[in-house]
Amino acid sequence: MTIGTLLPRDFDDFVYDWGRTYSIFFSQPLTLVVPGVGKGTFGSGLGGFSPSIFSRGMKCIACGRCCYGRERVWTWFVDPDVTPPEDTSAFTIFVNGAPVPLWVHVNRGDPRIDGCDYLINKGSLSLDGVTPSQGFCRLWAEGRDLPTHCRQLPDYAVYPVRGTPLLSRRLPPRNWRAPKCPIDVASLPLDQETIEKDRYVWHRWLVGLRGLPGCHIEEIYELWEKLLHTPPRTPVLFSEFV
């Protein structure tokens, strides 16, 4: 990948994952450097779990609405057990000074208008009403690994609660709630299918974050597994366990 492929505005796409989500697994604010694109320090140190991820399920109906948005950079953690899509390139970023190898795809069109490059059957997508369908995402339809961003959303999101960023299971920002997103997440109980999907997300995070300076992803993953058997009723702060 040439540096000219990525633009300074694309730094926000890296910040969304690292500054908003992954930073909650680090003991101190993390420093992110995307060569030729941007750098900065993000997060406020360790976050926590919302009780919602231990009580609610998630049943995505693949309506395709999440496939339109401002993001145009998709990343995968490099994993010898995963074959990335053919149209990705190797690229290395730096987190707290440590190299993090990624596979990266930069959307060719305007994702707000054209949708994600991997979106198929665009003509059958109704933006005014709900049109449930299977296979809008080509990678999903082919059984390929999804970008890290798509693996965790809409299942997981980080929201500040009284100043502490918590990993939560609720719909993304308010303008995405019904009727735009047809999933009533508050009414779906946690089931084994959702737990296994969550476990896969955690394994992807372990591949990409394990060993980075200041990161406690392994201890926090073990805490998540333990709390599945004793679901908390109040927020769980990572700082009390790591």
* pLDDT profile of the chain (242 residues), mean per 10: 76 95 97 96 96 90 78 94 91 98 93 85 51 63 88 86 91 60 81 94 96 98 97 97 94
User: CB under 8 Å to 224, separation ≥6 — which residues?
Assistant: 49, 53, 202
Q: Is 73 helix (H, G, I), strand (E, B) or coil?
A: strand
State the pLDDT at residue 134. Answer: 41
222/130 Cα distance (integer angstroms): 38
State the pLDDT at residue 172. Answer: 61
Q: Which of 142, 146, 168, 165 is nearest to 155 (CA)?
A: 168
Q: pTM for this structure?
A: 0.90
State the pLDDT at residue 137. Answer: 83
Residue that has been written with the tokens 């053919």 in this structure: 86
The radius of gyration computed from the CA coordinates of the chain, to the nearest angstrom, equals 18
Pair 75, 17: CB distance under 8 Å: yes
Q: Identify whether 189 is preceded by a cis peptide bond (ω within 30 of 0).
A: no
Pair 32, 95: CB distance under 8 Å: yes
